[in-house]
């Protein structure tokens, strides 16, 4: 009977210690890893085979810069098929410059224009205010001599997130090579 009482008291003490420890732990992710991003995937359509079949696409090389900043978001990344892009907190629009071969052909560029709605909200005492971002529209622009031209954009999900939920499908003009597997 004494052992039963001791085990019961031990369980109560351990349970109380675990609950106190877990209630004091920081569950909020205030770091940049918790920041909502715009998730984009690259797609293409081979209209000569099946104009309704969407294929995953991969770019050989990609550098992404944010306009009006000195930020390089992606620096000459190889074999890119999806990207995560941060949207600006201080403006209701974000412009990205996509360079496909910045070393050999610096004019091989497309521009991605994003208009977003920024809504601040109170996260916690530790994190302070965070920003909820909803994508209102997405457009693109091509340079005349760009070889990797964006053909179209499809907005799938408007809310920027940290869960890797796809926001944009960026369709590139079909290039005569074998893209990744079908969607």
Whether residue 98 contacts residue 108, with contact meaning beta carbons closer than 8 Å, is answered with no
The predicted pLDDT at position 3 comes to: 77
Does a structural domain hold residue 14?
A: no
Domain assignment of residue 111, yes or no: yes
Domain contains 104:
yes
Number of domains forming the structure of the chain = 1
Residues spanned by the domain of 106: 31-172
How far is 165 from 157, CA to CA, in rounded Å? 8
Is 180 part of a structural domain of the chain? Answer: no
> Does residue 19 fall inside a structural domain?
no
Tell me whether residue 125 is in a domain.
Answer: yes
pTM of the model: 0.74
Q: Environment class of residue 39 by beta-carbon count within 10 Å: exposed (0-12), middle (13-18) or buried (19+)?
A: buried
pLDDT single digits (tens) 32-72: 567 889 999 999 988 777 778 888 999 888 999 998 888 89
On average, the pLDDT of the chain sits at: 83
């Amino acid at each position: 009977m004494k052992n039963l009482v001791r085990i019961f008291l031990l369980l109560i003490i351990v349970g109380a210690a675990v609950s106190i420890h877990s209630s004091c732990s920081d569950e909020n992710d205030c770091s940049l890893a918790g920041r909502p991003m715009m998730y984009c995937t690259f797609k293409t359509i081979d209209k000569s085979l099946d104009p309704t079949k969407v294929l995953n696409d991969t770019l050989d090389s990609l550098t992404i810069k944010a306009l009006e900043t000195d930020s390089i978001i992606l620096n000459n990344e190889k074999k890119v098929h999806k990207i995560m892009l941060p949207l600006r907190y201080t403006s209701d629009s974000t412009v990205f410059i996509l360079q496909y071969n910045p070393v050999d052909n610096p004019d091989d560029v497309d521009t991605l224009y994003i208009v977003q709605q920024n809504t601040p909200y109170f996260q916690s005492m530790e994190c302070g205010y965070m920003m909820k971002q909803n994508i209102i529209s997405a457009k693109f622009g091509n340079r005349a001599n760009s070889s990797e031209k964006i053909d179209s954009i499809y907005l799938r999900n408007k809310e920027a997130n940290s869960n890797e939920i796809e926001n944009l499908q960026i369709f590139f003009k079909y290039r005569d090579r074998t893209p990744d597997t079908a969607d």
